[in-house]
Structure 1
Amino acid sequence: MGENKNHKSNGWALLPFLIFVTVFLGAGIILEVQGVDMAFYEFPAPIAALCGVISAFIVFKGTIKEKINDFVKGCGNEDIITMCIIYLLAGGFAAVTEAMGGIESTVNLGLTYVPAQYVTAGLFIIAAFVSVATGSSMGSIAAVGPIAVGVANAAGTDLALTLAAVLGGCMCGDNLSIISDTTIAATRTQGVAMKDKFRVNLLIVMPAALLTIVLLIFFGNPERVVEMETYEYNLIKVIPYIWNECFCCVNWWYFYFRSYRNFL
């Protein structure tokens, strides 16, 4: 306690973080200006982080051994290790299922049974399903977005509204997914129980999601109702997403049941 009281804050401590942000954003903006697709994904974030780490070694005082010991000790923090493990496992799951065509099969399965007049609302629900199952909003946008563009062009729906529906649905991945690195980071770093985060998130997200679905049903109608084609899908490839989704739903109900029982 005495050490914490005597410890003075230092603005230089933010320098490595600022360098990381500057390098990452700068590289992304330059590539975007050059017309590179997915510009902010072309420059690896770990390289930008490494630039920040190097700057920290240069700016802060102490021997190189002391700096390495502090760096390793910080990296070994249980919260950081937990986030890294979750991130690696979730990334591996997303990469494997996408490589075997899981996302395409899941989207095609949904589109096959969505009525043509409600295709925009259907894309919102499909995007939400995929993002919660994978725990990644940006990965789901990249996977579902191109399919949504093709559907919008075929059905004559407003392209901007269709893509907005996909973006809105995919945002569920960072808020309602058990395996989301954002969820893990928020609960572990802030000392918040998982059940409390999900209770608050569901109270915020569910009303907005239901209202969005209703509005898309009324305002997302296609200009011409065309017969939706039967898309090819493989139920075996959809099983990992269904399993993950069921896992998330069971946890949601569990958290709510616990909260309700404690309230009584």
Structure 2
Amino acid sequence: MSHNNTAHINGLVAISPIAVFLLFYLAVSLIVGDFYKMPIAVALMVASAWAVIIMRGTPLSKRVEIFSRDAGSSNVMYMIWIFLLAGAFASLAKEIGAVEATVNLALKYLPAEMIIPGLFFAACFISLSIGTSVGTVVALAPLTVELAQSESGSIPFFVATVLSGAFFGDNLSFISDTTIAATRTQGCKMNDKFKANLWIALPAAIATLVLYIFIGARVSHAELINDTNPWLIIPYIVIIATALMGINVTVVLSLGIVTAITMGLLSGFKILDLFGFMEAGIDSVGNLVIITLLAAGMLGLIKAAGGINYILSLLTARINGQRGAQASIAMLVSLVNMCTANNTVAIITVGSLSKSISQRFGIDPRKSASLLDTCSCIVQSLIPYGAQTLLATALAGISPVAPWPYMYYSWMLIGMVVLSILFKFPRHLNKRP
């Protein structure tokens, strides 16, 4: 057997844990007809065990050491620390009524013709503030359905409006899981990635907003007024302001938590109840923490076995220049996201590989982080089995595929990604800092 054939077989074996993970997850999901019946953590655990088994020629203790070392790396631990803080803040802010206050401030006084663009803007602002598209859907979906019914409008269209805004903020937010994963895996600052992302996401969002304004000109609605304390929006203002200043994200989240606790106490909540809300938020990210550890450990074994170098050679064999390299990063994270239905997991899975590609072809880490986050959010917004779509359509009582034709923002965002690759913008990112 030739050296090339041997290297090819060894490379296939080295990357087989990824195939085991995807095939195991997809096969079970397709058999039961539900992409959320098969826990991703279990699929990753099986794939991780397979990664340990196939690494021959190395003592078992050494294989476990490699897995544990990469799972417990400083980058992974820092990411998990941020996840915990973000979960605590999001739950705390929601329970004290900050989400409802934000919704009402954004929508309460809007004229009839602005209700549709207002929904989109509210979803953008809330998701940008709280860093989660799922949380935004939970906050806005019930109100959205009520609005659509009162206007005799299309419920799938109204739901798609909220989903679009939710993914705008999820893509850009400083405390979003996807932002955290993309920036940590690529080694860039969150505010720098935010600025790079604006060149792609903002034009698509503005175009979508203009479209909604034209559509909304034909809408009339009954007034919906809920009494809330407008001062409860302050924790979100603190989060956005301090993050835009470039302050360390752990400090940003800590300040947000302190502010939310203060507003909660002023609103009559007991301190132990507020701590309970924080605990619930921390518990809510427990599965994400486990997924992060398993994915990082598995990829560490794949890298040690030569799998990363093998995939790099395959993906870059016919790449000519930065355009091809950027397209390969975009396609890689998109394909994995389609298989996992989880944009954060997709970014974590391909993050180290994307960084290697960007380093080899001189792609600025801010651009690679932007591509990872944006493309994963695009796919997550369009697949009918994504958590956000399933939740929104379940609350609305419609089919998961019903909003798909109305996801105008996602379609425009695809166009902006393609243009950003073809014409290499933002221009200032064409040279590494």
Per the normalisation by structure 2, the TM-score is 0.50
> Superposed, which structure 2 residues align to 1:190-209 within 5 Å?
190-209=186-205
For structure 1, which segment, 92-101 or 49-58, has the greater mean C-alpha deviation from structure 2 after superposition?
92-101
The 3-state SS of whatever aligns with 2:18 is: helix
Q: Which runs of 4+ in 1 moved over 6 A?
A: none
Displacement after TM superposition at 1:172 (Å): 2.1
Q: Distance in 1 between matches of 2:207 and 2:113?
A: 18
1:97 is matched with 93
Displacement after TM superposition at 1:129 (Å): 0.9
> Superposed, which structure 2 residues align to 1:1-264 within 5 Å?
10-29=11-30, 33=33, 40=36, 43-61=38-56, 62-221=58-217, 223=219, 225-251=220-246
CA offset digits 1:63-106 (Å, max 9, x no partner): 32112111111012222222222222212222333334432332
Q: Distance in 1 between matches of 2:73 and 2:204?
A: 36
1:3 is matched with none
What is the letter of the counterpart of residue 60 of structure 2? I
Q: Distance in 2 between matches of 1:238 and 1:27?
A: 43
What is the letter of the counterpart of residue 247 of structure 1? T
Q: Distance in 2 between matches of 1:70 and 1:149?
A: 50
The 1:52/1:173 distance shift into structure 2, 3 A limit, reads farther
Displacement after TM superposition at 1:48 (Å): 2.7
In structure 1, the gaps of 5 or more residues are 1-6, 253-258, 260-264
Count of matched residue positions in the alignment of Structure 1 and Structure 2: 241
Q: Distance in 2 between matches of 1:212 and 1:248?
A: 26
**Equivalent pairs: percent with the same residue?**
35
Per the normalisation by structure 1, the TM-score is 0.78
Q: Distance in 1 between matches of 2:85 and 2:149?
A: 36
The 3-state SS of whatever aligns with 2:108 is: helix
CA offset digits 1:132-173 (Å, max 9, x no partner): 111122332343223212221112333232222212211123
2:351 is matched with none
Q: Distance in 2 between matches of 1:228 and 1:29?
A: 44
The 1:172/1:226 distance shift into structure 2, 3 A limit, reads closer
What is the letter of the counterpart of residue 124 of structure 2? A
Which protein, 1 or 2, shows the higher relative CO under an 8 Å CA cutoff with sep ≥ 6?
2
CA offset digits 1:167-188 (Å, max 9, x no partner): 2211123322112222222222
The 3-state SS of whatever aligns with 1:192 is: coil
Whether contact under 8 Å (1:157, 1:222) holds in the other structure is: no
Whether contact under 8 Å (1:123, 1:166) holds in the other structure is: yes
CA offset digits 1:4-40 (Å, max 9, x no partner): xxx9962223222233333444455556x36xxxx63
In structure 2, the gaps of 5 or more residues are 1-6, 248-427, 429-433
Q: Distance in 2 between matches of 1:143 and 1:13?
A: 44
The 1:138/1:65 distance shift into structure 2, 3 A limit, reads same
Displacement after TM superposition at 1:242 (Å): 2.6
Q: Distance in 2 between matches of 1:212 and 1:91?
A: 30
Displacement after TM superposition at 1:246 (Å): 2.6
Q: Distance in 1 between matches of 2:232 and 2:40?
A: 30
What is the letter of the counterpart of residue 51 of structure 1? V
